[in-house]
A = this chain, B = another copy of it.
Amino acid sequence: MSAPTTSPPSWFTFEIVAEDGRARVGRFHTPHGVLETPVFAPVGTQATVKALTPAQLGDLGVTLVLANTYHLYLRPGADVVAQMGGLHHFMAWPHPILTDSGGFQVFSLAAMRDIDDDGVTFRSHLDGSLHRLTPEKAVHIQEQLGADIIMALDECPPPYDRAYNEEALRRTHLWAERSLKAHTRKDQALFGIVQGGVFPDLREQSARFIASLGFPGHAIGGLSVGETKEEMYAMLDVVTAVLPREKPRYLMGVGTPEDIVEAVRRGVDMFDCVLPTRLARHGAAMLKHGGRLNLRRAEFARDPRPIDEHCTCYTCQNFSRAYLRHLIVAKEMLAATLMSIHNIHVLVDLTRELRQAIREKRLDAWLAQWYARHRATSETNLADR
């Protein structure tokens, strides 16, 4: 995050400031500041990254936060957020915000859903009330919420069902065009989403079509939803080869260190995931080189060490595994806060290291070192996946 210097580029300009192989470091200009990419965005489902204040997120070096349209539409309502001055003001986050289209939650959370080419009808998981989401409605709600980056409504089918993926892809492409037409706010960047399951030809077709529509950025959806890592990386290879170099690429819902590393080396710029905060609430610490520590385990009851002796986060600088385990066992809220601070730091710091390695054109060496430690971590049985 830094202010533009001389003549500021217009909003949503994406400058590529360094490249190393397919990986790149970029600067994405938004109305709420410049995002340095690769960037990891923690998820603030209900307009709050669970258990953390905006001040704590800022201290962590977080620059982008994701909020969920489905949740905010149902509660407190997009009109309430708009009346309160939009999401930035509502949740006191002065930096860039990204909202999803709401589609993913409709498909995964809603009590009932009925999809057709026009849109999707669903029942709220909160009170059973009936709602209708169309591409136009998804854009309108996101315009009310007021994030810097918003998403076209898409359909995310199970990754291995060829027929379903073909049908969903047709709909996703139709909806992408309608979303673009519906979008009116000039201070928001609308991203189109590439789908296609684990099928290289569908992925390539989708990337070509979505890229042809002229979005200011492109998202890759429908990955990390049950396919293997090899399949995910193969799809990234296909898609990043097609998507234009000069626009940011956002891999939705991805957040393990391994997956971020592998996606960045393939030219992906943006990530979001609930993983660091969700694991935190379950007492699991993410480790920088992959793997996890389950701090609920009795072996940590008298362990005076921090989660990671090399970690510079507030949690590792101040608290022992013994204290964190005590908080977890005693069901204290501070456990989620301190574990979230550590886990988000791991991913934010990872993207910082990746940016630096790319800038210095030593990504291969960095990767070799990272994987050496990754293997060592696994072998010493520190990990508890």
Contacts and interface: CB of A to CB of B under 8 A. Distances in A.
Interface of A: 46-48, 50-56, 75-76, 80, 83-85, 90-92, 301-302, 304, 314, 318-320, 322-323, 325-327, 329-330, 332-334, 336-338
Contacts of A85: 304
B318 A46 contact: no
B337 A302 contact: no
25 contacts: A46-B330, A48-B327, A48-B332, A50-B332, A51-B334, A53-B56, A53-B334, A53-B337, A75-B326, A75-B329, A76-B326, A76-B330, A80-B302, A80-B326, A83-B302, A83-B304, A84-B320, A84-B322, A84-B323, A90-B320, A90-B322, A90-B323, A92-B323, A333-B337, A337-B337
Given A46-B326, A46-B327, A53-B334, 19 more contacts: A46-B330, A47-B323, A47-B326, A48-B332, A50-B332, A51-B337, A52-B334, A53-B314, A53-B337, A53-B338, A75-B329, A76-B301, A76-B322, A76-B325, A76-B329, A80-B326, A91-B323, A92-B323, A337-B337
A332 B46 contact: yes
Nearest to A317: B92
A333 B84 contact: no
A336 to B, nearest CB: 6
A321 B18 CA distance: 44
A50 B323 contact: no
A125 to B, nearest CB: 13
Nearest to A74: B330
Contacts of A333: 50-51, 333, 336-337
A330 B55 CA distance: 21
Contacts of A84: 302, 304, 320, 322-323
A320 B322 CA distance: 37
Contacts of A56: 53
A217 B28 CA distance: 61
A322 B77 CA distance: 11
Nearest 4 A/B pairs, CB to CB: A92-B318, A76-B326, A51-B333, A48-B334
Quick one: which of A48, A76, A322, A334 has the most chain B CB within 10 A? A334
Nearest to A90: B323
Contacts of A76: 301, 322, 325-326, 329-330
Contacts of A75: 326, 329-330
A50 B92 CA distance: 22
A187 B199 CA distance: 70
Contacts of A337: 51, 53, 333, 337
Contacts of A320: 84, 90
A53 B339 CA distance: 12
A52 B56 CA distance: 11
Nearest to A91: B323
Contacts of A314: 53, 55
A332 B337 CA distance: 12
Contacts of A326: 46-47, 75-76, 80
Nearest to A47: B326
A357 B318 CA distance: 37
A114 B349 CA distance: 55
Contact of A318 (B51, B54, B319): B54
A178 B320 CA distance: 35
Contacts of A322: 76, 80, 84, 90
